[in-house]
Structure 1
């Protein structure tokens, strides 16, 4: 029996097994086996240099990378052409885009690389279409834009989430607070710092033994599920923010558009009518968690031009700003003077570990 058949058999057994106290260990074992087989299915495609295929070896550039995923003919190519200077081939039939096409969004002084990936079809994780290559590129992104057709958005969203989930991409989820360290001897030591409602020691042991882990320290710092435990054991999961972009809102009613717009992590647009595209750029900036910091030389005005400033991640410190300017500055650092919302008063003298806010102005004084 091949791996695909084994996966289908386990999925069928999980779907027909009633979930209760008596079956939770059996289900946990099935989920662990399913994750192992899915991993085996993907591994051969990730080895060797030619697995990505023509047009998929796109170098990461700019301050952040955003990947657009979606079914064929939902408007990804039109969107790329609308908000970047790149022309991606578009037509009224499916599979117009056959390779990965990069574009650049210039926003708040940042260069954001936007990738137009070929349309995903159902079964992409099993190698149908170019789904595997599409998903491999999506794993390298800082943000996923899931482009959906407003008319059939709910079905497409569920199908795409299933595909991404099956290849280890977790959208809008945090990494599980589970500490797992394998050791050579001593057996499994299991502890938890919070009450557990989804897992217990016996279930954890069952899953660990399926992965041939017999000596390890396991600490649950949150009420995690067996699926999250499997993710930690596998260790190759990617946690990425995702924006659900409902395109073609000109084809639905105002009531339906309002319902979609109110959903979590969702925005509604129309590429054809150029509706809401500026708001989408704002949301991309927000979800990428970027900030722009301006610099100032002693005795001169700060550089506040549209192309000035350095782009950092939200929560970045003065030390991060030093490294972004030049790697030698941090070693010569004496103190910094900061103007902006991150300080109690403006200007304020701060050290390397001071956290910066968006549009702060910083002046660095060296030894």
Structure 2
């Protein structure tokens, strides 16, 4: 393992001393591909002991969404979990109080959200220091990550944590690059892009260099975005997770209004004081927004809708069929059509098929086949 880490360090050092210009673009792309392969080997080699498992880390998923709390030791993650969920997680003024993964749940807008308090992350986690691999391994299973930062400490913590998560294949607040790779039997590498896309970050030679490193000799590479070398490597690797992230700036009770105004420039952030429960309403609303879930109310035939227990579905899968599958997969097969009330239809009610896209707080009644 040390040899593997040594190779990674050598490539990172070479990349650091290589000037970035058109002449070195292909060489840097090749180094990035070699680095990504070595990091994958490092991660996969530790799956038996450093993944989401391990003592105290094998936490069963419950509820409608899983949210992970990540941060340096003693930033207030345990206090936040306790105040939001009522689940006690030991908090103290010394570092590394939490040594295992502590789960808790809370309800918001009819949605049951599982919150995980993970042990304090440290620099070098992705390389195996502390219990970093287990922490980040669990983070990969989360629908949303909350990076908890101490408002009285440097924002360098933010960059360190981002770098550690990035090194473990977690892409924060990013979408999967729109690149399609279709392998073929012959013809070499063909780069395809629409006239509307200007490739300013990646040359055709660099594309071929990266493909050669991955032993891709014949393929059509279709770019539907202005991609970088990192984007292409991510798509080839195929093991990246794209996770929304909120930066929870804790302990704002210890800073001035002027300092808070400066921190307000940080995107995707919510200021709170966990111990005083300041600004929890905004935090819970922001979590709901970033999870991008919708509530669908069921209506049994001849009865009023059940507004107490909505069916929670991701907006990306919020069709009538997706709603049926969330209840039971057989329901979609037995369905004749759905009657829908709400903002997704022109008339209330309206007869809809399986592909109809539902909106938040729509009411649905499923009519089964005879």
Query: What range is the shorter-chain TM-score in?
Result: over 0.9
Match of 2:330 in 1: 328
- 3-state SS in 1 of match to 2:6: helix
Match of 1:217 in 2: 220
Tell me how far apart the structure 2 counterparts of residues 58 and 90 of structure 1 sit (CA, whole Å): 20
When structure 1 is superposed on structure 2, of 19-28 and 323-332 the one drifting more is 323-332
Match of 2:250 in 1: 247
Match of 1:109 in 2: 110
CA shift at 1:215, angstroms? 2.1
Asked if the contact 1:260–1:267 (Cα under 8 Å) also holds between the matched residues in 2, the reply is no
CA shift at 1:258, angstroms? 2.6
| CA distance 1:32–1:48, change in 2 (3 Å) | same
Tell me how far apart the structure 1 counterparts of residues 291 and 17 of structure 2 sit (CA, whole Å): 40
CA shift at 1:287, angstroms? 0.5
1:96 aligns with 2:97: yes
Asked if the contact 1:71–1:148 (Cα under 8 Å) also holds between the matched residues in 2, the reply is yes
User: Alignment length, in residue pairs?
Assistant: 365
CA shift at 1:337, angstroms? 1.9
Match of 1:61 in 2: 62
Tell me how far apart the structure 1 counterparts of residues 7 and 324 of structure 2 sit (CA, whole Å): 53
1:240-279 correspondence runs (5 A)? 240-279=243-282
| CA distance 1:132–1:48, change in 2 (3 Å) | closer
Asked if the contact 2:180–2:223 (Cα under 8 Å) also holds between the matched residues in 1, the reply is yes
Tell me how far apart the structure 1 counterparts of residues 307 and 28 of structure 2 sit (CA, whole Å): 58
1:136-155 correspondence runs (5 A)? 136-155=137-156
| CA distance 1:46–1:184, change in 2 (3 Å) | farther
When structure 1 is superposed on structure 2, of 344-353 and 281-290 the one drifting more is 344-353
| CA distance 1:333–1:346, change in 2 (3 Å) | same
1:317-356 correspondence runs (5 A)? 317-356=319-358
Match of 1:5 in 2: 6
CA shift at 1:143, angstroms? 0.5
Superposition RMSD in Å: 1.7
Asked if the contact 1:318–1:351 (Cα under 8 Å) also holds between the matched residues in 2, the reply is yes
| CA distance 1:325–1:211, change in 2 (3 Å) | closer
Tell me how far apart the structure 1 counterparts of residues 52 and 353 of structure 2 sit (CA, whole Å): 47
CA shift at 1:30, angstroms? 1.4
CA shift at 1:189, angstroms? 2.2
Asked if the contact 2:341–2:364 (Cα under 8 Å) also holds between the matched residues in 1, the reply is yes
Asked if the contact 2:66–2:115 (Cα under 8 Å) also holds between the matched residues in 1, the reply is yes
Q: Which runs of 5+ in 1 are unaligned?
A: none
- 3-state SS in 2 of match to 1:202: helix
CA shift at 1:325, angstroms? 2.5
CA shift at 1:157, angstroms? 0.6
- 3-state SS in 2 of match to 1:77: helix
Tell me how far apart the structure 1 counterparts of residues 114 and 9 of structure 2 sit (CA, whole Å): 37
CA shift at 1:309, angstroms? 1.6
Tell me how far apart the structure 1 counterparts of residues 81 and 72 of structure 2 sit (CA, whole Å): 15
* Post-superposition CA distance 1:144-165 (Å, at most 9, x none): 0111111225211100011111
Tell me how far apart the structure 2 counterparts of residues 66 and 50 of structure 1 sit (CA, whole Å): 17
- 3-state SS in 2 of match to 1:364: strand
CA shift at 1:100, angstroms? 0.7
| CA distance 1:50–1:248, change in 2 (3 Å) | closer
Tell me how far apart the structure 1 counterparts of residues 115 and 24 of structure 2 sit (CA, whole Å): 45
Tell me how far apart the structure 2 counterparts of residues 322 and 229 of structure 1 sit (CA, whole Å): 36
Match of 1:196 in 2: 199
- 3-state SS in 1 of match to 2:244: strand
CA shift at 1:333, angstroms? 1.7
Q: Which runs of 5+ in 2 are unaligned?
A: none
Asked if the contact 2:122–2:130 (Cα under 8 Å) also holds between the matched residues in 1, the reply is yes
TM score, norm. by length of structure 1: 0.95
1:359 aligns with 2:365: no
Tell me how far apart the structure 2 counterparts of residues 346 and 148 of structure 1 sit (CA, whole Å): 47
